[in-house]
């Protein structure tokens, strides 16, 4: 078992970290760490250099060159004429040719694991003696109207107490994926073996090194593991179920076939699943399990699952299309959600007619938050109950507090959901990304952590930023390498210890409150345990540890600690408790079990609470004159 919460002898024994769809997009921005460009011990040139470095993804180099020209005319001769000179661009970056799968000539650059880790370890911020990492491998298009794509290998350090900026290990650019997986992975595998066996020594401190898992979508996993792709007859990565063809679609209608194991994989027992005569080089990394260390990546699983169901409900050619009045209700209710969506969610528009263009965050929001509420007014009762099986299961498996203990319960719901798919959506409905749902609970049992801890959100977001680093079509790989190398020079820390409290912003107009012999100052907003709290909707609904739901109308901080809040006891909230809660549904379990309740109303008299009384923040929705509270999963 690869327990990512396992203890060790380091300063921080609990090695886990929360990666989820709510915080992944901002998890490596460090926006609360404002850079001071006016430090007295830095020259004006250093300050401008740092400003350019921190904004490298948004600044065209021609604009920086123009700025340098203005500064030179103003008498600042210390500045060079060109932006490339200021930033130390390397015009000759060592790369090598590598064939793409379409026999095009691509280019490959290896940057290294150790180089990225050293930039994060030398600052002394990381105090554990074990380095555990996740690796993300996937392809991404760089241009809208060409086949050019980049295939990076990206890594991030994983720890409960720290937040780390991901970094690139290797990059391939060509007109398709690399042709030879052995050649593509060779440098990475060799260095990973060395670091796993020998560890890392930095500034006389020795660190153990371990790759916890490799995250990729289905086609990328098939490429890396040298197995059948997602449409093959023996494509399931977790069990030996054979596919059959129904209505020209490959489906996997049975749920109880033997599980694949590391031993059966390395022995190539199922040659129809592993058609290549030799194994993937990835298995040479000590301790890496080719089955379980490649988790069923939920970002793409949710994306495919929700779009599959939406297609059946909405598409004109679907046998299971909803009636016009149902579609109108669905469209109206989803469109009205925008005002209820809190800051943790980056996308707030839900046009169901555009579902094919939805991003993963929109799909997961429907599955985990909006769907259990909205769809009761849209779907027939039996179809709604069927949807609740998968929604409740994934709320359990994504919950930081319940995932491990409730994995068996969730697995039962998922197996039932998959088994009933033909009943509601036809014999051709159990395609691979539907069948795969029966195996996701295995990942929670193996890693002993919720699914959100090893999703692809962090990696996809990091790779997605590559587009902003290139200007023009000349040497895109060199452009990316130059700019990510410059970003690694930033004065902003690349790894930070997490704080319970951050970003405490006072109201512009000073407002004082006296409470229990203390002077309190009113706060505009504060981040507490990854929850952004304010005193106005939609970021002001929380659930306390005693189960009460609070409508916050004031947040205060102790005046004595307002400049730098460190203690949770210094933050006070004032709000209205609920008058009572009801279950929104009772099958497959009471909705309160997964943090979903119908709220009767709120009291009219406010009470004071300490911020440490807060268990989680909630999405609060008013639909058809009913109030619903749905807890954010990373705190449930």
Say which residue, 279 or 7, is predicted with more confidence. Answer: 279
Nearest to 210 by CA among 131, 283, 289: 131
3-state secondary structure of 288: coil
What are the tens digits of pLDDT across the range 71-124? 999 999 999 999 888 988 876 788 999 999 999 999 999 999 999 999 999 777
Distance CA 450, CA 570 (A): 31
Between the two ends of the chain, the Cα-to-Cα distance in Å is 25
What are the tens digits of pLDDT across the range 539-576? 999 999 999 999 999 999 999 888 788 788 889 999 99
What are the tens digits of pLDDT across the range 327-373? 999 999 999 999 999 999 989 999 999 999 999 999 999 999 999 99
What are the tens digits of pLDDT across the range 492-530? 889 999 888 999 999 988 889 999 889 999 999 999 998
Q: Which string of DSSP letters, residue by residue, matches 22-75?
A: TTGGGTTT-TTS---TT-TTS-HHHHHHHHHHHTTTT--HHHHHHHHHHHHHTT
What are the tens digits of pLDDT across the range 206-252? 999 999 999 999 999 999 999 999 989 999 999 999 999 999 999 99
What are the tens digits of pLDDT across the range 460-469? 999 999 988 8
3-state secondary structure of 238: coil
What are the tens digits of pLDDT across the range 378-436? 999 999 999 999 999 999 999 999 999 999 999 999 999 999 999 999 999 999 999 99
Note the pTM of the prediction, 2 decimals: 0.90
Asked if the model's pLDDT at residue 139 lies above 50, the reply is yes
The residue-averaged pLDDT of 592-621 equals 97
Question: In the prediction, which pLDDT does 575 show?
Answer: 98
**Gyration radius of the chain over CA positions:** 26
Q: Answer yes or no: are the C-beta atoms of 278 and 186 closer than 8 Å.
A: no
Question: In the prediction, which pLDDT does 3 show?
Answer: 67
Q: In this structure, what token pair is assigned to residue 41? A: 């011990």
Beta bridge partners of 575: 552, 607
Asked if the model's pLDDT at residue 17 lies above 90, the reply is no
Asked if the model's pLDDT at residue 20 lies above 70, the reply is no
Q: Answer yes or no: are the C-beta atoms of 460 and 468 closer than 8 Å.
A: no
What are the tens digits of pLDDT across the range 569-580? 889 999 999 999
Domains (ranges, CATH) in the chain? 1-216+458-498 (no CATH), 298-454 (no CATH), 501-635 (2.30.30)
Say which residue, 200 or 16, is predicted with more confidence. Answer: 200
Question: In the prediction, which pLDDT does 39 show?
Answer: 52
3-state secondary structure of 377: helix
Task: Give the CA angle between residues 620, 623, 624 to the nearest 5°.
Answer: 150
């Amino acid at each position: 078992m690869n327990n990512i919460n396992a203890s060790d002898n380091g300063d921080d024994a609990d090695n886990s970290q929360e990666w989820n769809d709510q915080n992944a997009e901002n998890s490596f921005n460090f926006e609360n760490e404002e850079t001071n460009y006016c430090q007295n011990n830095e020259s004006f040139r250093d300050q401008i250099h740092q400003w350019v470095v921190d904004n490298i993804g948004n600044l065209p180099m021609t604009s920086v060159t123009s700025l340098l020209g203005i500064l030179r005319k103003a008498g600042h001769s210390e500045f060079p004429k060109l932006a490339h000179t200021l930033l130390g661009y390397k015009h000759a970056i060592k790369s090598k040719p590598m064939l793409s799968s379409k026999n095009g000539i691509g280019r490959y650059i290896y940057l290294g694991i150790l180089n990225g880790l050293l930039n994060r370890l030398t600052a002394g911020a990381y105090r554990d003696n074990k380095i555990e990492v996740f690796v993300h491998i996937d392809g991404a298009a760089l241009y809208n109207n060409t086949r050019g794509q980049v295939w990076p290998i990206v890594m991030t350090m994983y720890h409960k107490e720290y937040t780390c900026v991901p970094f690139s290990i290797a990059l391939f650019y060509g007109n398709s994926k690399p042709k030879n997986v052995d050649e593509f992975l060779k440098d990475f595998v060799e260095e990973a073996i060395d670091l796993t066996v020998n560890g890392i020594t930095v500034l006389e401190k020795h660190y153990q090194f371990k790759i916890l898992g490799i995250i990729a979508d289905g086609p990328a996993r098939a490429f890396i593991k040298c197995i059948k792709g997602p449409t093959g007859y023996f494509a399931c990565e977790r069990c030996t179920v054979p596919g059959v063809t129904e209505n020209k679609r490959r489906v996997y209608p049975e749920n109880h076939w033997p599980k694949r194991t590391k031993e059966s994989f390395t022995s190539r027992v199922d040659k129809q699943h592993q058609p290549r005569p030799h194994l993937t080089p990835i298995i040479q990394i000590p301790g890496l399990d080719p089955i379980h260390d490649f988790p069923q990546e939920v970002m793409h699983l949710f994306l495919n699952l929700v779009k599959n169901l939406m297609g059946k409900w909405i598409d004109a050619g679907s046998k299971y299309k909803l009636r016009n009045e149902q579609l109108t209700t669905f469209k109206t209710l989803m469109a009205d959600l925008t005002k209820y969506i809190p800051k943790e969610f980056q996308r707030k528009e839900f046009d169901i007619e555009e579902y094919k263009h939805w991003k993963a965050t929109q799909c997961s929001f429907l599955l985990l938050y909006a769907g259990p509420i909205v769809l009761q007014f849209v779907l027939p009762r039996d179809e709604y109950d069927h949807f609740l099986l998968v929604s409740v299961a994934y709320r359990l498996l994504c919950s930081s507090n319940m995932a491990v203990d409730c994995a068996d319960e969730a697995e039962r719901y998922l197996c039932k959901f998959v088994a009933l798919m033909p009943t509601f959506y036809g014999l051709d409905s159990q395609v691979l990304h539907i069948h795969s749902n029966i195996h996701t609970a295995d990942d929670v049992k193996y890693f002993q952590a919720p699914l959100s801890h090893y999703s692809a959100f962090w990696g996809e977001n990091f790779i997605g930023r590559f587009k902003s680093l290139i200007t023009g079509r000349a040497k895109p790989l060199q452009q990316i390498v130059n700019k990510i190398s410059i970003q690694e020079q930033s004065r902003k820390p690349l790894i930070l210890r997490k704080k319970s409290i951050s970003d405490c912003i006072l109201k512009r107009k000073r407002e004082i409150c006296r409470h229990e012999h203390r002077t309190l100052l009113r706060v505009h907003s504060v981040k507490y345990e990854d929850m952004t709290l304010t005193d106005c909707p939609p970021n002001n609904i929380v659930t306390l540890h005693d189960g009460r739901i609070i409508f916050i109308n004031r947040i205060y901080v102790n005046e004595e600690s307002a400049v730098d809040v460190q203690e949770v006891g210094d933050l006070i909230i004032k709000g209205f408790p609920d008058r009572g809660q009801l279950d929104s549904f009772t099958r497959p379990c009471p909705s309160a079990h997964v943090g979903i309740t119908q709220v009767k109303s709120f009291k009219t008299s406010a009470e004071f609470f300490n911020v440490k009384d807060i268990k989680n923040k909630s999405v609060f929705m008013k639909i058809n004159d009913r109030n619903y509270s749905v807890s954010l999963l990373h705190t449930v």
